[in-house]
Structure 1
Amino acid sequence: MSVISEENVRGESVFSDISADNEDLQPTEIESMCMNCYQNGTTRLLLTRIPFFKEIIVSSFSCANCGWANTEIQSAGRIQDRGVCYTLKVQSKHDLNREVVKAECATTRIPELEFEIPPFTQKGSLSTIEGLIDRAVAGLEQDQPVRRATDPEVASKIDEFIEKLRKLKDVEDEFTLVIEDPSGNSFVENPVAPQRDEALTVSRFQRTVQQDMQLGIRADDDLEQEPDSNSVEAMRNEVLVFNTNCPECNAPASTNMKLVQIPHFKEVVIMATICDSCGHRTNEVKSGGATEELGTKITLHITDPSDMTRDVLKSETCAIFIPELEFELGMAAVGGKFTTLEGLLKDIKDLIVSKNPFVTGDSGVTGRMQKLMEFGEKLDKIVAGEMDVHFILDDPAGNSYLQNVYAPDPDPEMTVEKYTRSFQQNEDLGLNDMKTEGYQEEN
């Protein structure tokens, strides 16, 4: 039996990468009561990482006495700053194989059938699109014998609806799957990563007060309060320190927070966490001001290795594009950061290649592995100044920044465009009352 030891919790991370070469990656077995026959069964827990996503806990219960079994997942990370909504156009049977993490608090919808699975009605699951459909069918079929005896008409209508759900797996017609999760901890696989998935739309949204209460992060009587001007001024003059847990090994750590004024830009909040147990370091940046009236698109033509030293502020609402690599990184993928261009490119490589457990080991798909490794090599060439590319920051909130080394004069290799947000971008930012015009060049 595998045991989660104190040394593991206080030392290196207990969340292991998926790899056939890792012999230590064994589930933890716990004797527990079967809720079907009330005899003792076995629960197996596996703490692992999902590539391009985060850490999760997979639990599987089986009972040798009655044969009952079930599987569920729980997010091992914190509730995210914003909710997430995945909208997938299922166009072929291949799409049914996409991996899906559905948190317990997520709502699942299939608009074409007017079908919805409300939040907190199912346990969290690690499955595929086909698995989600099968689980929905199983849930509807569960009480059908009783309905046929007590209300045959309702049972007949449910049978018809179950047949419609089953036909979805034939994908004779395109249908839409929507997973909306206020905790931000659900996930739908992008099989063409690091390229953009044309069939999958990922949007972020601000939670409502009611959703905060459902997630237990706001008390029922918690009221919004205006910030104290004296406390804000104090924050500008000192580094605030508060206790937290390391996101890598869960050991106690400290987070430092400071308000910083970026020249020729605005005030931002920088938060840095250093773990003494495992050495993990993180930094996160949040805008100290409100959402701007216009979005900002910054395009830098990288022509010299010295460009790598430019300061970059990437907000959590900013997307990144490198057209020459056909690469797009959605908002919040690497969070808010204040670093150099070289540092940001290395963070992207870590996310896509270096820390992706599916690049190595028997679990890797040869074609995808080769594609990701080549992408990593191209990023290295950009950092070394051996590849001519355009680097684009597109922030609908207008809170991102790339240093102009010629300031206050114009930068010949950099353009900054201001544009009016689209309706969808306003939805993502929680701003629904703004105009939806096209791009507007900055004077």
Structure 2
Amino acid sequence: MSESPTRPDRVCIVGAGPSGLVAARQLRDAGVAFDVFEKHSDVGGIWDPANTGTPIYNSAHFISSKYTSGFYGHPMPEHYPDYPSWRQILTYIQKFAADENLYQHITFNTAIENAVKDDDGNWVVTAGGVARTYRALIVAPGVTWHATSPTFPGQDGFTGEIRHSSTYNHASEFTGKRVVVVGAGNSGVDIAADAAANAEAAFLSVRRGYRFLPKHIFGVPLDVFISTGGQLPAGVTLPNDPNELIDALVGDLTKYGLPAPDHNALASHPIVNDQIIHYLAHGDITAKPNIAQFDRDEVVFTDGTREQVDLVLFATGYEYRIPFLDEELFEWHQGHPRLYLNIFNRNVDNLYVLGFIEFADAAYHRFEEMAQLIALDISLEGDRKEQFRELKRTHFPDLRGGMNYIDSPRHANYVETYTYQEALAKVRDQFGVEPVSERYTSRS
């Protein structure tokens, strides 16, 4: 390892996916010097299938619409469909980075090997065998890189193929096969729909009852319909209760063999997919309960049914990990670091995590609002710096708005989006910071 001259006037950002890019824009506009390191050869994070380890698959699209999903000041192109594909999202992210002149700040093909504090409290960041010293560290590593998979009795003796959905790429992988997809999250039901259309036989294994939201309501994208209050056709009325509303729009899921939803509609991350209902209704895929065990070439389910299967895909989520940092720097809960506002390490004043958060909302606006507060904290001095430091130590706002989310690792750091936005706004107001808006003009 070699050492370059120390750079204690600069900040290190790790990752050039969407969250890393908005962090870069906010630091630049705050006049903070910084460097960005990205292990891949371009920006885009998971949305670039050439990025080794990405879980992106050929049929992937946004589950939020183009109208709510863009970066501040950079609306998605008008010619994009309501729900852009991964190709369009990647092109959009790359154009954002180019238009904002962010490429010049990024060192590509350079993974961070480790980052440790020195005696002066600065960060010594080692990348490509070179150690550099920074006054603050922002990690924006993404949350879908470290797959988690369950184990079942008989799994080692299964004669078929078992892998995580993060390895899935194209529907042609299902041709001529009998396939079980385990898990009904957004990627799980997307992939299950691919299997329904292409496999010899397809099965969707779920442990619990979920609600599946349609992507359009009366022809309007779901998120636009909700955010605008929903303009209904003349003579049409809908229930006010979210459970009743979704159940009325989608119908009784138990008639497709799925278990009845076992939680309130707002208590879980939304699953936005009506394709899977189409395929269930047409008999192209069969709903199954959880797996009980594997038996040679068969999968045995908890209801006692069994199916001969060639391929099992576990769409069972991901671990939150920052491999280059000592885990003891954080307090962990259900595999998630506990952070002030899901951003700030409460005990390490110059360590920030951007993107380790879940909410029922489009992400890029929220990420930039979070990044704005990071830039604020890094820029503060004297009494105002101490004031922010005290907030990080002692302020424990309710970010859930009284919601009782499902008790699962996925929901361990879940926040109610409007409550969360209000919490960020209160901190901005306390320090006299104007909110980011669509009229935002960068100093690029």
Largest Rg, 1 or 2: 1
Could you say whether these structures have the same fold, taking a TM-score greater than 0.5 normalized by the shorter chain as the test? no
Q: Which has the higher contact order (CA 8 A, sep 6+)?
A: 2
Q: Give TM class, smaller chain.
A: under 0.3
